[in-house]
């Protein structure tokens, strides 16, 4: 007769507590064995390589035809019809204080994953999803890039390339972004 069966005869509640403890510790052991990696969507603005958290971008599309919006800031490129819905296009580099984006074959639009805010950010190139391990993480200096500093979530270094992690959700909550008209 096994110890569990003997315990069942003696005290069923004690057996349940013991089994619960075994299940909980087994789940912790399984979780401890997994590498805690971080995945983000990589893209380029000028010479800078950036990342956004995977859940902040709904999709990546080629730049669609657009219609300018009168009296909008220069970084608001216009609106576009994307699958029957209006999408406001924003030059991400310009809204961050850089020069206007130049059209190119690699240029793409990152569509923000937000139900109530249909906005797409034009970037120079998309590098796809990138995974990083905790040892890839680096501390960023605030002086490195002052325009990105309020949006930064952290950074990673791999193969001598610095990947800054920014939040597009933080950007759309800034006063600068909210004052897109004149």
19/51 same-domain check: no
91/21 same-domain check: no
Q: What is the dihedral of CA 77, 69, 150, 152, to 10 degrees?
A: -40
Average pLDDT value for residue range 6-21: 61
Decide if pLDDT at 31 tops 50. no
Residue 102 lies in domain: 38-178
Lowest mean pLDDT among 6-10, 13-17, 40-44: 6-10
- The two tokens of residue 111 are 């569509």
Decide if pLDDT at 20 tops 80. no
131/65 same-domain check: yes
Give me the number of domains the chain comprises. Answer: 2
pLDDT in tens, 55-106: 999 999 999 999 999 999 999 999 999 989 999 999 999 999 899 988 899 9
State the pLDDT at residue 87.
95
State the pLDDT at residue 26.
47
pLDDT in tens, 116-169: 899 999 999 999 999 999 999 998 876 567 778 889 999 999 988 999 999 999
101/168 same-domain check: yes
16/70 same-domain check: no
pLDDT band at 6 (very low <50, low <70, confident <90, very high): low
pLDDT band at 22 (very low <50, low <70, confident <90, very high): low
8/64 same-domain check: no
24/103 same-domain check: no
pLDDT band at 180 (very low <50, low <70, confident <90, very high): confident
pLDDT band at 27 (very low <50, low <70, confident <90, very high): very low
State the pLDDT at residue 14.
67
Alpha helices in the chain (DSSP H): 3-10, 12-33, 92-95, 168-172, 175-178
Q: Are 180 and 73 in contact (CB under 8 A)?
A: yes
Rounded Cα distance, 57 and 52, in Å? 8
Could you list the beta-strand ranges (E) of 7-124.
38-45, 48-53, 57-61, 76-82, 85-91, 108-112, 119-123
């Amino acid at each position: 007769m096994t110890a569990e069966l003997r315990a069942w005869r003696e005290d069923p509640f004690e057996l349940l507590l013991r089994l619960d403890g075994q299940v909980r510790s087994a789940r912790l052991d399984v979780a401890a064995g997994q590498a805690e990696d971080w995945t983000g969507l990589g893209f380029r603005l000028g010479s800078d390589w950036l990342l956004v958290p995977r859940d902040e971008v709904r999709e990546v599309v080629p730049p669609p035809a657009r219609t300018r919006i009168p009296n909008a800031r220069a970084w608001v490129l216009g609106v576009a019809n994307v699958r029957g819905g209006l999408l406001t296009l924003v030059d991400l580099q310009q809204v961050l204080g850089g020069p206007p984006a130049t059209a190119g074959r690699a240029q793409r639009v990152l569509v923000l994953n937000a139900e109530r805010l249909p906005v797409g950010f034009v970037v120079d190139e998309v590098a796809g999803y990138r995974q990083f391990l905790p040892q890839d993480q680096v501390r960023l200096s605030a002086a490195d890039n002052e325009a990105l500093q309020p949006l930064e979530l952290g950074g990673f270094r791999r193969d001598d390339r610095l990947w800054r992690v920014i939040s597009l959700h933080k950007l759309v909550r800034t006063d600068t972004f909210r004052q897109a008209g004149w």
